[in-house]
């Protein structure tokens, strides 16, 4: 079995870490009002955000409409960290396994750093590295952070 590979991006933002994490963990976040990249984000079961719950995201990446379904694997509210596993969607054409971790670290009164990491196993040698997912995520967080500036 191949080992998981890892990529990471860090984004410095001028917004409150708690507000950003709260939006990320909201039952029905109004992300479509905050981001031009994401059209919808909805909870698929139990209408709550807990370990084991799933959400479907409809978005545009690389100029193409896509979707993914993720399952929450772990939530650490104290450290504003969530681990998710992608279980369905366009990305899974290239990867056997795809996990992402989001950690939001307070760096000042109204500033924070988002650490977004991917752990993945490619389907085969020809599958692309998911650098586009990192770029998409960095852009997404920059875009939504504008709505949480003081």
Residues 95 and 127 sit within 8 Å (Cβ to Cβ): yes
The predicted pLDDT at position 44 comes to: 86
The predicted pLDDT at position 112 comes to: 97
The predicted pLDDT at position 150 comes to: 52
Encode pLDDT of 80-111 as tens digits: 999 999 999 999 999 999 999 999 999 998 89
The predicted pLDDT at position 139 comes to: 94
pLDDT over 80 at 45, yes or no: no
CA 11 – CA 46 distance, rounded (Å): 32
The predicted pLDDT at position 33 comes to: 78
Please state the domain extents for the chain. Answer: 5-148
The predicted pLDDT at position 73 comes to: 97
Q: Residue 25: which of 8, 50, 46 has the closest Cα?
A: 50
The predicted pLDDT at position 76 comes to: 97
The predicted pLDDT at position 23 comes to: 86
Full-model pTM: 0.91
CA 67 – CA 70 distance, rounded (Å): 10
Burial of 126 (0-12, 13-18, 19+ CB in 10 A): exposed
Q: How confident is the model at residue 28 (pLDDT cuts 50, 70, 90)?
A: low
Q: How confident is the model at residue 2 (pLDDT cuts 50, 70, 90)?
A: low
> Distance from CA of residue 19 to its chain's centroid?
16
The predicted pLDDT at position 34 comes to: 83
Instruction: Determine the CATH number of domain 5-148.
Output: 3.30.530.20
CA 73 – CA 83 distance, rounded (Å): 5
The predicted pLDDT at position 47 comes to: 64
Residues 93 and 9 sit within 8 Å (Cβ to Cβ): no
Q: How confident is the model at residue 41 (pLDDT cuts 50, 70, 90)?
A: confident
Residues 9 and 142 sit within 8 Å (Cβ to Cβ): no
């Amino acid at each position: 079995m191949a080992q998981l590979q890892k990529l990471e991006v860090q984004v410095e933002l001028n917004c409150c870490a708690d507000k950003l994490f709260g939006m990320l963990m909201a039952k029905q976040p109004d992300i479509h009002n905050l981001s031009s990249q994401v059209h919808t984000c909805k909870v698929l079961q139990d209408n709550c955000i807990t370990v084991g719950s799933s959400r479907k995201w409809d978005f545009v990446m690389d100029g193409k409409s896509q979707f993914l379904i993720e399952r929450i694997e772990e939530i650490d509210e104290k450290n504003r960290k969530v681990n998710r596993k992608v279980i369905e969607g366009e990305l899974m054409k290239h990867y056997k396994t795809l996990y992402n971790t989001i950690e939001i670290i307070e760096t000042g009164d109204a500033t924070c750093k988002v650490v977004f990491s991917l752990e993945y196993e490619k389907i085969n040698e020809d599958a692309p590295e998911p650098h586009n997912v990192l770029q998409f995520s960095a852009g997404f967080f920059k875009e939504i952070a504008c709505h949480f500036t003081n």
